[in-house]
Structure 1
């Protein structure tokens, strides 16, 4: 049987042809697998098919693996319906952002041993099949979360999908996964939304002072409220526990600020600084001290390309880039994050090419 080998040969069915589902379909097609498409919206299936992501499923098709990629509130019912209709050897996974709730929804199902949850840590601010890309998952972590009744063969097949899509499988239990995403995604999203909410009624004079800091802190708050309310609501227990910790530290911050307790405030800020240092570096390596090299860039076509070309010629690797715009002049301030030990080398190289840097 195909399932017992752990080798993914197809067909792969995608249930839900939005951004994630269609991207998985495109990655499978890139690898030469047959892909079957299912969606409650026939326009999405037509669009995904037109992009080369696969073909509509027919009643005679028997997929080896089904990927359920529907909104969080619909996951439990969709997984159950898929297991009900699946062949005796078909493995089912889902790509939802929460893992304990879908597993609980199918507990006791006679085919639960062939269900293995998963969650790719990838996406964009866009949605729908037209935003999909076969390269969306390249190099990204992808949690694989088998429940206690899942067979090893089913888990291996889902891991094979992850590798085929170019991602890195990260094995976790469903509960561990939910605690992890509460800490690294769900609570940060809520905090960003709370901070962004203080800007909604602000005067134009106040907002004119906005810089990269407020944009960095609030960026993820621009996500779809309907989607994120489902995601966060589906992980209520883990999120509420972390919010309680945050509330305790917020109370300490209020006391320190209102009581002019500089030592207490510095302690809270140092604790936050330690948290930023705990975030892994790129490719999962240990974090390195970084420094931003700030460069003034005229807001004209071709200037960014020229800056990146000069930075590349310096031999210093750029780890990250941010751009802020001068509200009074057609100039941008570009921050090039590099390993701290090589920041001065980059500054000297750029200045020798006529760029203005700021320390």
Structure 2
């Protein structure tokens, strides 16, 4: 791959363009908003000048509702040898292209499983895709050359290729991406009119659940409009669980001991099912999640404190597998939770205490 056109210079398109440009590919940036294309070019993602002839790859990074029309225009114009899109929905755009009578041998639908709460070229980064799954949905009609271009792109972005059927992909992302966005937004919506005293009690749990609720609503309307059926199916199952859980909680209020026992069993059932599902979420490096020990350390909100604690952990010969920060309400301090292998926890605890850190249980 020596030349490429990236159509759509938002977060994903600009991030991919940054990678390609850094690897010596001549990248031409196209966006209906010329300001975004110029911004991406200024970031080093390529040039906003049109190519003089056909390029090796056209990467379409526009909202799902516009993918088919954008691809059709590009394919009819013969601007590239191969055409990829990175929309989060795959089945619908492919069927639209088929309905338009286009030759799909030169097209391959893809979806990098990466993103941020922020959008636009200024949110882009060349390391956005590193270690992340990148779904490819080839068909029997896909040209080998186009598949190879897609694999080259994924390799340059240091992502992990995953081959799936397009409709299976759409059902999967409905479960692991689209529904969580809606659930997060629904929980966060409860806070909008909540009493200020209640909001001040927010801790790490509510921050974790509502983190993605800060995403762009217009972007998500586009995504959900392209995959409404599978998302509705998942939500219907969650709604059934909610109804059962509400009933179980009401039973816990009963004066009847048998009803209270049944209510407790109902609540325990959903919690245990949650445990069973949670352990299936891939952990570090895509492996099964490990059972780490948490070493909690009180830390002040001063420059260099995090660097110092990581350096002290390194001097102790302990690898920090994961980290979380819990901020103290109304104080310039917080608690850093260092996740380490269980066998390393006593060593790290002792080493940090010796270096003056305050360990919290």
Normalised by the length of structure 1, the TM-score is 0.93
Give 1:124 deviation, angstroms.
2.1
Q: How does 1:90-129 map to 2 (within 5 A)?
A: 90-108=81-99, 109-129=101-121
Contact 1:13-1:57 within 8 A present in 2 as well: no
Q: How does 1:141-290 map to 2 (within 5 A)?
A: 141-260=133-252, 261-290=263-292
CA–CA distance in 1 between the matches of 2:17 and 2:107? Answer: 19
CA–CA distance in 2 between the matches of 1:302 and 1:60? Answer: 50
Give 1:328 deviation, angstroms.
4.2
Instruction: Name the residue aligned to 2:326.
Output: 324
Contact 1:192-1:219 within 8 A present in 2 as well: yes
- The structure-2 alpha-carbon separation of the partners of 1:32 and 1:355, relative to structure 1 and needing over 3 Å to count, comes to same
| 1:297 match: secondary structure | strand
After superposition, what is the alpha-carbon deviation per residue over 1:34-90, rounded to whole angstroms, capped at 9, x for unaligned? 111111112222222222222234363211110001122221211111111125x62
Give 1:265 deviation, angstroms.
0.9
| 2:326 match: secondary structure | strand
Give 1:10 deviation, angstroms.
2.5
Instruction: Name the residue aligned to 1:343.
Output: 345
Q: How does 1:296-335 map to 2 (within 5 A)?
A: 296-335=298-337
Give 1:314 deviation, angstroms.
2.3
Give 1:164 deviation, angstroms.
1.4
After superposition, what is the alpha-carbon deviation per residue over 1:323-358, rounded to whole angstroms, capped at 9, x for unaligned? 222224322111222233433332222222221122
Give 1:289 deviation, angstroms.
0.9
- Structure 2, unpaired ranges of 5+: 253-262
After superposition, what is the alpha-carbon deviation per residue over 1:83-108, rounded to whole angstroms, capped at 9, x for unaligned? 11125x62111011111111111014
Q: How does 1:43-58 map to 2 (within 5 A)?
A: 43-58=35-50
CA–CA distance in 1 between the matches of 2:347 and 2:278? Answer: 25
CA–CA distance in 2 between the matches of 1:340 and 1:276? Answer: 20
Instruction: Name the residue aligned to 1:79.
Output: 71
| 1:256 match: secondary structure | helix
Instruction: Name the residue aligned to 1:6.
Output: none
CA–CA distance in 1 between the matches of 2:332 and 2:125? Answer: 34
Contact 2:28-2:51 within 8 A present in 1 as well: no
Instruction: Name the residue aligned to 2:259.
Output: none
- The structure-2 alpha-carbon separation of the partners of 1:256 and 1:25, relative to structure 1 and needing over 3 Å to count, comes to same
| 2:141 match: secondary structure | coil
- The structure-2 alpha-carbon separation of the partners of 1:248 and 1:131, relative to structure 1 and needing over 3 Å to count, comes to same
- The structure-2 alpha-carbon separation of the partners of 1:11 and 1:329, relative to structure 1 and needing over 3 Å to count, comes to closer
Give the number of equivalent residue pairs: 350
| 2:98 match: secondary structure | coil
After superposition, what is the alpha-carbon deviation per residue over 1:18-46, rounded to whole angstroms, capped at 9, x for unaligned? 22111111111111111111111122222
Normalised by the length of structure 2, the TM-score is 0.92
Contact 1:103-1:147 within 8 A present in 2 as well: no
CA–CA distance in 2 between the matches of 1:347 and 1:59? Answer: 59
Moved beyond 6 Å, runs of 4+:
none
Contact 2:118-2:216 within 8 A present in 1 as well: no
**Greater alpha carbon shift after TM alignment, 248-257 vs 305-314:** 305-314
Contact 1:14-1:37 within 8 A present in 2 as well: yes
- Structure 1, unpaired ranges of 5+: 1-8
